[in-house]
Amino acid sequence: MWCGSYFLPKFTHNITAHVLFAITDIETTGSFAGANSITEIAICVHDGRDVVREYQSLVNPGKPLPRFITTLTGITDEMLEDAPEFSEIAEEIHEMLRDAVFVAHNVNFDYSFIHAELQACGYSWNPKKLCTVRLSRKAFPGFRSYGLENLCRDLGIRNEAAHRAMGDTRATVQVFERILKVMPEDELNKLVGRGSRESFLPNHLDEREYNRLPEKPGVYYLLDQHRKPIYIGKAINLKKRVRTHFSPATESERHQHFLKEIYHIDFTLTGNELIALLLEDAEIRRHWPRHNRAQKRQAARTGIYTYTDRRGLQRLSINKVTRTSAPLKTFTSRAAACKWLVKLADAHNLHYALVGLPVEMPGEDPDITGHNERLSAALQTAAEERSVVLVSTGRDATEHGFVLVREGRPEGYGFIPRDIAVDRAELLDDFLQRLPLTETNAAIIRSYLEDPKGVRCIEF
């Protein structure tokens, strides 16, 4: 297999003057860069009018090829025996790519592999990128599919060597040149100038849906082609948080499949993190998106239990909650349980050792006089859960957000005009969006009651 590059005559062009495009395709041992390697690479350097330089090479990945890769590409282990390793050709590849806009069909796939290989060889490479899948959607709206094979068929482009690097690169060159013919020059120049900021987006996602995301708190929904939620999350800054899902640095196979399923984004503003947390939990439990995992697992809970020791003293202990146990109170962590017990002991003059705390109080042996009576009174007081309104910022300056809690149970959330008093619980029902009681939202409320985090707490 020939390895190397050659130059073609260079012509003057008008589009994106002084800009070169490195149109590239690779073949690999698998679908994600984190655990796979390049087996073939081809690059066509394009000046906006013509290809001015070509390069191609097989690459020895240092391990046997999976059978399905050989079936798909026709590349065999025997063909790769004498091929160079990537480190042997990295310098030439970096020289061709470093001053050009990187172009590929599904650009983040090719970028993730080449970036990983160059980085392993000590080269820094952070190019502007253009994706011919996304460009084709702009240039040729209405096609059923924008995969390279289907796109070539619909555009009448012949690919003499499909699933081989140079064959697919030359086909992508023709697609790119068709795009140049129909896309306004100023639009292409704009895309090149900003590095096509939407190139990081999943192929099926319209950039307009991402661009309309506000930089405000809320709940976001990543949707499949049928607009069914596949992931639901909350954020203080919706646009910034959603952007993290599309990072090309995440190279796992599961993440690559996840990105391919995203077709749409939707969101709901909440005005603050508290309501975002509660709504996220409720929406995940309503839709059960397949890529949300936390609520699908039974949360490990910590419980506070009571027992009587040999001296007849009523004691408390902290233990893991089981199906057959009946704790006095549950918490999401041992630390939260300890924090609650410290407050209980300090408020009712109880010795730490007698309420299950691992921290010793100064002094001699615990004073057990009246202990059982004090502990019983303390537990009775603790059982009298508070009824409060947690008041927070609204979605805009005209309203408050609120969460209504009756006897420790979150009833729901809502938004109320600022000119209506929030300290009268009976006025809130007309604005209330009710929530199902879950272990998660009960824990969220407990954490805010213990540490309001900027939320105003009004008891009633």
DSSP symbols for 377-438: HHHHHHHS---EEEEEE-SSTTEEEEEEEETTEEEEEEEEETTS-SS-GGGTGGGEEE----
Q: Does residue 19 contact residue 55 with C-beta atoms inside 8 Å?
A: no
- Please tell me the predicted confidence (pLDDT) of residue 12: 38
Q: Does residue 344 contact residue 378 with C-beta atoms inside 8 Å?
A: yes
Which residues 6+ apart lie within 8 Å of 93 measured at CB? 41, 43, 55, 114, 118
Residue 367: left if φ>0, alpha if ψ -120 to 50, beta else—which one?
A: beta
Taking the mean position of all CA atoms in its chain, how far away is CA 414?
Answer: 27
- What the chain holds in terms of domains, given with CATH numbers, is 4-199 (3.30.420.10), 207-287 (3.40.1440.10), 302-383 (no CATH), 388-459 (no CATH)
- Please tell me the predicted confidence (pLDDT) of residue 242: 95
Can you tell me which residue has the tokens 């996304």?
Answer: 134
- Please tell me the predicted confidence (pLDDT) of residue 9: 42
Taking the mean position of all CA atoms in its chain, how far away is CA 86?
Answer: 31
**Closest of 3, 83, 5, 82 to residue 39, by C-alpha:** 83
Long-range contacts of 111-115 (CB under 8 A, 24+ apart): 111/248, 112/32, 112/33, 112/248, 112/251, 113/26, 113/28, 113/33, 113/36, 113/37, 113/38, 114/24, 114/26, 114/38, 114/41, 115/33, 115/248
- Using CA atoms, how far apart are residues 131 and 231, in angstroms rounded to an integer? 25
- Please tell me the predicted confidence (pLDDT) of residue 359: 65
Q: Does residue 169 contact residue 42 with C-beta atoms inside 8 Å?
A: yes
- Provide the β-strand partners of residue 432: 414
Q: List, in sequence order, every beta strand (DSSP E) within 166-312.
A: 218-223, 229-235, 264-269, 302-308
Instruction: Count CB neighbours of 246 within 10 A.
Output: 18
pLDDT digit of tens for each residue in the chain (460 aa)?
555 655 544 433 445 557 899 999 999 998 888 789 999 999 999 998 899 999 999 999 999 999 999 999 999 999 999 999 999 999 999 999 999 999 999 898 899 899 999 999 999 998 989 999 989 988 999 888 899 999 999 999 999 899 999 999 999 999 999 999 998 877 777 777 655 556 678 878 888 899 999 999 999 999 999 999 999 999 999 999 999 998 755 556 777 788 889 999 999 999 999 999 999 999 999 999 999 986 555 555 788 999 999 889 999 999 988 877 778 888 878 888 898 899 899 999 898 889 988 765 555 566 788 899 999 988 888 776 778 999 999 999 999 999 999 877 788 999 999 988 887 777 888 899 998 888 788 888 888 887 888 899 988 8
Residue ranges of the alpha helices (H) in 308-370?
Answer: 334-348
Q: How many helices (H) and strands (E) does the chain have?
A: 15, 17
Q: What's the order of all strands across the beta sheet hosting 432-434?
A: 432-434, 409-417, 399-406, 388-393, 456-459
- Using CA atoms, how far apart are residues 98 and 123, in angstroms rounded to an integer? 10
User: Per the confidence metrics, is the pTM higher than 0.85?
Assistant: no
Task: State residue 221 phi and psi, 5-degree precision.
Answer: -130, 120
Secondary element (H or E) of residue 40: strand 38-46
Angle (nearest 5°) at CA 214 between 198 and 107: 15
Q: What's the order of all strands across the beta sheet hosting 229-235?
A: 229-235, 218-223, 264-269
- Please tell me the predicted confidence (pLDDT) of residue 3: 59
- Please tell me the predicted confidence (pLDDT) of residue 266: 96
Can you tell me which residue has the tokens 């309420």?
Answer: 355
